A = this chain, B = another copy of it.
Amino acid sequence: MTASPYAALETRFARLGAIGEALGVLHWDAATNMPDGGAQSRGEQLATLKVIVHEGLTDPALTDLLAGAEGQNDLDPWQRANIAEMRRTVAHATAVPADLVAARSRACSEGEMVWRKARAASDFAAMLPALRTILGLTREVASAKAAAFGMTPYDALLDGYEPGGGTATIDRLFGELASVLPGMIDAALARQEKRGAPLPPAGPFAIAAQRALGLEMMKRLGFDFAHGRLDISAHPFTGGTAQDVRITTRYDEADFRQALMGVLHETGHALYELGLPGAWARQPVGEARGMSLHESQSLLIEMQVCRGREFMNFAAPLIRDAFGGGGPAWETENLYRLGTRVARSFIRVDADELTYPAHVMLRYRLERALIAGDLDLVDLPREWNRGMRELIGVVPPDDARGCLQDIHWYDGAFGYFPTYTLGAMSAAQLFQAAKAADPAILSGIAAGDFTPLLAWLRANVHGKASSRSTDQIMIEATGRALETAPYLAHLRARYLED
Contact = CB atoms under 8 A, between A and B. Distances in A.
A63 interface: no
A35 B225 contact: yes
A42 B29 CA distance: 14
Contacts of A42: 25, 244
Contacts of A52: 19, 52
A14 B243 CA distance: 30
B44 A18 contact: yes
Interface residues of A, number: 38
Given A44-B18, A45-B25, A229 B33 contact: yes
Contact of A45 (B22, B45, B229): B22
A41 B228 contact: no
Nearest to A33: B229
Interface in A227-256: 227-229, 240-244
A468 interface: no
Interface in A78-114: none
Given A35-B226, A37-B224, A282-B44, A25 B15 contact: no
Contacts of A226: 35-37
Interface SS, A side: helix
A25 B46 CA distance: 12
Contacts of A242: 41
Contacts of A240: 38
Contact of A227 (B35, B228, B229): B35
Nearest to A240: B38
Interface string A188-230: 0000000000000000000000000000000000001111110
A8 to B, nearest CB: 16
Contacts of A19: 45, 48-49, 52
Interface in A417-455: none
11 contacts: A14-B44, A18-B48, A21-B44, A22-B26, A22-B45, A35-B244, A37-B228, A37-B244, A38-B240, A38-B241, A40-B243
